[in-house]
Structure 1
Amino acid sequence: MQVKFFLKNRIFLSFASVALIFNSVSYAASQAISIGDKRFQTPRHSFSNEEVWDFDDKTFKQINGTNYYGVFKQGLVSDITLEVFNPKQSLQGAKLEILTLNHSSEEILEVQSMHAANPMDKNLHPIKILPFLVAGSSLKGDSINNKLLIKEAELSSAVFLEPSNIKTKNPPKKEEKDKINYVISGGLAREGNAKNNTLELLDGSYINMGVENIYNLKLNGAPYAVGGLAIFGDAIGNSLLAQKGSKVDIHTASFYRDMVGEFILDERITHLVGGLAYNGKVEKNKLNLNGVEFNIHAPSGLYSSFAPVHIAGAFVDGNGKKAYDATKNTLVIDNFLLNLRADGKTPIFYNAIF
C-alpha cells in the first residue's frame, strides 16, 4: 500500500522546552577513514549470516555496530566533512548491509532533563544520548562549519537481524526497555557552541532507526537527525536538508493515560531538527524538506499504528534556571512524499497521525 502526499509551503518555526543537567563526557566512538584534507568517510560494512544467527543453537545473536566521527577533540573543531557511503551490493543480503550503532555504555552521554512527551510533567528524567554519526565533535570548545553527508546508506539501531540464507521466525524482544536518543549530526559541541553545521540527507540515504529489529518493530530509541547540537552552549546557523531520494521511517509509538487522565506519548519517535541546544539559545537554524520520502512503518501482519514525528527548525531545552531564546529559526517545506510501509499481510486496521 502506498500513499503519496505533496506539500509546498514556507513556514517559520521556533520551539522551546525545559531542563537539563550534564552527567557524563565519555566517548569511545571510532574515527572514520581519512580521504583528504579534513574529509572522512565511514568504511563499508555488511553483517555476515554467522554474525546474526547461531547455526548450531538456531538462535539469533545480538549485534553491535560502530559509532563514527570525523574529528573529536577538546577545543575548536571546524570545517570537517564526514561522508557516509554504504551502498547495497545484493538483493538477497540487502537487510544485512546496514550501518548500526554501538550500544555500549561508554558510548552514552547521560543528562537529567524534563524533555518528555507529557508537557505537564515538570520532573527531571534521565536522558541517554548516543552520538552515532557526527562530523565534528568538540569538548569544551565550539563546533563550527562541519558537514555530515549521508550519501547512500541504511542507518539502523537494530540489535537483531534475520540471516539471508535461511528462513527464521521473527527475532525475540529484548528484556530491557531501551530509551536512547541516537544523534546524527554535522556538529556536536559539549560545553561549547554549535555554529553553521550541516546535515544533508542525499539520494539513497535511509534512516530506519528507533527499533531493535525491523520485524516486530519494538522501539529502542529516538533518532535525532540534527544539523548542529550544543550541550551547555548555543546552536546558531545550523541546517538540516532532506533531499529528493532520501528516506526516513516513522515507526509506531504507543500512548497511554497517566493517573490524572493526561495522554502520554512514547517519545522514542523520529526527530528532524535544524539546530538543537541544551541550556543554550537557538538562533537562525533551518530545516528544509526538499523531496524526502517519509515511510509510516508498522509491525508485520495485523497491526494498529500511531505514528508521530517531530519536525522543527530548532529546539531548545533548559534546566529552568534561566530563559533561553529561540529566534529566527526556519522550517521550509518545499516537497515531501508520505508513504505507508505495510510488511506482510494487508492490515485490517490502520491509524496514523503525521
Structure 2
Amino acid sequence: MSFLNKDFLNSLVKSEDLDAMIRKLESTWYGPEIERAASMYSGPELLEVAMNRHIVETNRIALQVTPFSRKSAIQAYLSKWDIYNIELILSSKAIGRTITETEPFLVSSRNFPAGITAGNISHDEMKIILAQPTFEGVVNQLVKYKYGVILIQHLDTYQKTGNLSPMIADLMEFYYTNLLEMLKFYEGDEGNIRDLVRMQMDKKNLLTLMKAKESNLDRELVKKHLIPGGNISMDEMLEVYGNSNISELSTRIDEILKLGDLLEHFKKSNSLIDFEVAIDKLIQLRYVRKLKSIALSIGSIFYFILKAETEWDNVKRIAYGKRYGFSEERINSMLILEG
C-alpha cells in the first residue's frame, strides 16, 4: 500500500523543481530517510541518499519474510547491490573522486548494510574500502570477500591499461551464474523468475552490443564482455552485432524480442536511454506482471523486490529529468508503469 501510485508519480513529474519533488516525497514512505539525511545533505544528494537507504530497507523487509529454505535465492539476487557499490567505488577510485563525493551514491545504510543480503559488506566497511589511498588498496581490502578473488585476477591488466571493464564483466558473470544456481527448481515456482533473470542478462548484453556499435569496437573485444546463459545465445548475440550500424542492429533485436511499439521513442531519438527503457518495459510486461498474479510463493517476494526497484528507478529518472530540464512528456516516456 505504500508504493507510489501513477497519480503521485505524475505529480512528481509536474513538480516545479527538485526541491518541490523532495517536499512531496516527505509525506510518503521515503519521509523518514529524507528527514534523517537532511541534517547532512540537501538537493540532489539528499534525494540520492534517501532513495538508496530506502531500497536497503525494502530489501530487508523482503529477506525477513522469506522462508529459510528460500533465503539463498533472495540473497543471491540482492547481492547485486554489493556489486553496484564495488563498481561505484572502483570507478571513483580510478578517476580520483574523494570519499565525500562518492559516499552519497552507495546503496547502503548505517542501520542495514546493502551487503546484509549477501557479502555482509556494511556501510562502515564500505567507507573503509572507499578510504583506501590507492585502487590496489581497494582491491586488496575486498580480498576478504568473494568479490576480491575475482578482482585481483585482473589487477595486473588494470595497472597496465587502466581498463576496469574486465573486472566488472567478471563480477557480473559471477553474479548471474550464482543467481541461476540458487534458483534451481525447488518447489516448481522458479521458472518465471529464471526467465526474468535471463532476460535481465539479455538486457545487459544487448546494451553492451549497442554501446560497442556506437564506438565501432572489434567483435572479439565485444565477445569478452558478454554474459553467457541468457535467453539469447552468445552466437546469436555476435551474429546480431555483425549488422553495420545502430539502426540495423536495433531492427535485428526487434525481430528477436518483438519489441514493437516499445522502440518508438528510440527510433526518434537514437538514445540508448530509450533503448534501455524499451527493454525494461518488455521485462515489466512479459515477466513482472506474471509474478503479481501467481499464488503466494517466492515469486510474490520477487515481485515486491522488483516493484521497489522499479519505483527507485522511476523516482530517480524524474529527478534527473528535473535537473536537466527535460519536458514532462520526455520524463513520462522514461517511466516504467504497471499496466
TM superposition score category, shorter chain reference: under 0.3
Larger strand fraction of residues: 1
Structure (1 or 2) with the greater helix fraction: 2
When normalised by structure 1's length, the TM-score is: 0.22
Q: TM-score, normalised by structure 2?
A: 0.23
Does 1 or 2 have the higher relative contact order (CA < 8 Å, sep 6+)?
A: 1
